[in-house]
Amino acid sequence: MRARFAAVANHVEALHRTQLGPLTLDGLAEGVWRVFGADEVRSFQTL
Q: pLDDT for 1-46, tens place per residue?
A: 778 888 898 888 887 778 888 888 888 898 899 998 999 888 878 7
Instruction: Tell me if 36 sits within 8 A of 23, measured CB to CB.
Output: yes
pTM over 0.75: no
Instruction: Tell me if 22 sits within 8 A of 28, measured CB to CB.
Output: no
Burial 6-27 (b: 16+ CB within 10 A, else e): eeeeeeeeeeeeeeeeeeeeee
Q: Which of 39, 11, 40 is nearest to 25 (CA)?
A: 40
State residue 17's pLDDT score: 78
Cα–Cα distance between 34 and 45 in angstroms, integer? 18
State residue 38's pLDDT score: 93
